[in-house]
Structure 1
Amino acid sequence: LTVILIHISSLQPFGQVPALQDGDIILFESRAINRYIASKYKETGPDLLRSAGGPAEAAAVEVWLAVESQQFGPPVEELVFGAVINPRIGEATDQTAVERQAERLGRVLDVYEERLSKNKYLAGGEFTLADLNHMPYTYFLLRTPQADLVTPRPHVLAWWEDISSRPAWKKTAEVIPI
């Protein structure tokens, strides 16, 4: 995998990051890039898609990837942008929107708490792409006043402490500008 930094609009039709070029393949959207890298390198690292675990394990990963994208992603993104990003770029925080998304995210995290009371990771007993895709926004969430959405949920908190203690994440978190 070779990452070449060039003008982003030549790779990403919306002119946003991220974008990835790997030979003739051009990808944009972080979830697609993550899935591509997990698939391409599954033989040299952990099988983050659990394809070797059979259809049931792979399907569990797909379910929790969809949950991250459709249930967790929208409220946490709006909450983090409102509470962290907008103030950093000089925009006002819409506290009503932040509170509305915190309430919505709390309901999602109640489902996670139940799931994680029975499984070490979201898709079962192994760390997968479903867990990995939660890491950036959870990291930012825990740096907001709404961190109390995670901390009183013991299974969600234990899950976060586990996945965020991974050496690769620690290295990544060190360079996140916050």
Structure 2
Amino acid sequence: MVLKLYSAPEARAGHGVVALVLAEKQIPFELVLIDQSAKQHKTPEYLGKQPWGQVPYIDDDGFVLYESRAIARYLAEKYADQGTPLLPPPSDLQKKALFEQAASIEFANFHPLAFKLILEKVVKMMNGQPVDEVAVAGYIAELSSNLKIYDEILGKQKYVAGDELTLADLFHLSYAPSLAPFGIDVMTTAGLNVTRWWNDLLSRSAWVELQAQGIRGTSP
């Protein structure tokens, strides 16, 4: 049974990251579109699978899993021997620890601020609501300060967990790509190393294709 991805079609947020992992790992899947505008993600049937009423979730032959980071880890481990390697080998304890360190940094020091910027600037602008520019400036300042540390780290290695691409890098593509179109260029002003790394992620062929075509199912 082919894996099913229950998702909105746009390659953004957590479902965009999951779609990117599916593409990088060359995993066939069936896309089950969820119309959030019609509140399909809030129906009793959907909540029976994803109790928080969010996208995405996957159904892998009866195994249901939600939360994009958990899904990404599951897919990267299950399909470790195909597509782009996205996790260190289990036998390399030090590389595995460095990956977990980088993933924790993204979750604690990057994602919360990027998400706050999305809510305060992007969502409000799209809905024609007033934006608290003072709050936005504060979030940008804090994220820029954190990215200065990223710049130091990336001056010593190619990616956030070392010299090899991992899920810790891809997790940054959840919300940050939506910032620049709304005038927040923090990802390209924090330092040359961050800019180099960020442009590397945005130029990955799988990501470029997802942005152009949206999320689509693939054939086995």
Q: TM-score, with normalisation over the residues of structure 2?
A: 0.73
Is the Cα contact below 8 Å between 2:158 and 2:164 reproduced in 1? yes
Is the Cα contact below 8 Å between 2:121 and 2:136 reproduced in 1? yes
In the alignment, which residue of structure 2 is the partner of 1:141?
Answer: 179
**What's the offset of the Cα at 1:152?**
4.7
Matched residue type, 2:154: L
Of the candidates 85, 89, 111, which is equivalent to residue 73 of structure 1? 111
How many equivalent residue pairs?
176
Q: Secondary structure at the match of 2:58?
A: strand
**What's the offset of the Cα at 1:131?**
0.5
Is the Cα contact below 8 Å between 1:80 and 1:144 reproduced in 2? no
**What's the offset of the Cα at 1:144?**
2.8
In the alignment, which residue of structure 1 is the partner of 2:19?
Answer: none
Q: State the Cα deviation string for residues 20-75 of structure 1 (Å, max 9, x = none).
A: 11122211111111111111111112221112571111111111111111110000
Matches within 5 A, 1:11-90: 11-51=49-89, 54-90=92-128
Q: State the Cα deviation string for residues 8-30 of structure 1 (Å, max 9, x = none).
A: 32311011112111122211111
Bigger mean CA deviation after superposition, 131-140 or 3-12: 3-12
Of the candidates 182, 189, 200, which is equivalent to residue 162 of structure 1? 200
Bigger mean CA deviation after superposition, 40-49 or 154-163: 40-49
In the alignment, which residue of structure 2 is the partner of 1:172?
Answer: 210
In the alignment, which residue of structure 2 is the partner of 1:124?
Answer: 162
Is the Cα contact below 8 Å between 2:76 and 2:87 reproduced in 1? yes
Identical counterparts, % of pairs: 35
Bigger mean CA deviation after superposition, 145-154 or 42-51: 145-154
**What's the offset of the Cα at 1:90?**
4.2
Of the candidates 102, 105, 110, which is equivalent to residue 140 of structure 2? 102
Residue 152 and residue 68 in structure 1: after superposition, are their counterparts in 2 closer, same or farther (change >3 A)? closer
Q: State the Cα deviation string for residues 105-149 of structure 1 (Å, max 9, x = none).
A: 112101100000111111111111011111232211222322045
Residue 68 and residue 171 in structure 1: after superposition, are their counterparts in 2 closer, same or farther (change >3 A)? same
Structure 1 residue 10 and structure 2 residue 48: aligned?
A: yes
CA distance in 2, matches of 1:55, 1:142: 37
CA distance in 1, matches of 2:75, 2:131: 35
CA distance in 1, matches of 2:60, 2:128: 35
Is the Cα contact below 8 Å between 1:11 and 1:21 reproduced in 2? no
Matched residue type, 2:3: T
Q: Which runs of 5+ in 2 are unaligned?
A: 6-31, 35-44, 215-220
Matched residue type, 1:164: L
